[in-house]
């Protein structure tokens, strides 16, 4: 699964640390998601979509093989 958290974050001008605090995870977890090293839970994905005010499937995308 891929995501464009980094892009959305840039649009909204939110740092990794700030986003991490808003969704209640460590900054490293935000970093790992942006690098596609970690697939977040549905709860976390929904929290992120709420912050960016977009649908989940506008932020997260399935890849070939998923």
Kindly tell me which residue out of 3, 5, 14, 25 binds other proteins, with binding defined by CB under 8 A.
25
In the chain, beta strands by DSSP E: 2-3, 60-61
| Residue 22 near other proteins by CB under 8 A | no
Q: Which two tokens stand for residue 7?
A: 């892009």
Specify the residue, 35 or 62, whose C-beta has the smaller distance to other proteins: 35
User: Minimal distance in Å, beta carbon 30 to other proteins?
Assistant: 9
Which residues are at the interface with other proteins (CB under 8 A)?
A: 15-17, 24-29, 31-32, 38, 40-41, 44
């Amino acid at each position: 699964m891929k995501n464009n958290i980094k892009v959305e974050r840039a649009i909204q001008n939110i740092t990794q640390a700030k986003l991490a605090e808003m969704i209640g995870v460590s900054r490293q977890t935000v970093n790992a998601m942006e690098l596609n090293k970690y697939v977040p839970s549905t709860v976390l994905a929904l929290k992120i979509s709420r912050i960016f005010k977009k649908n989940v499937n506008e932020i997260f995308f399935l890849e070939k093989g998923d």
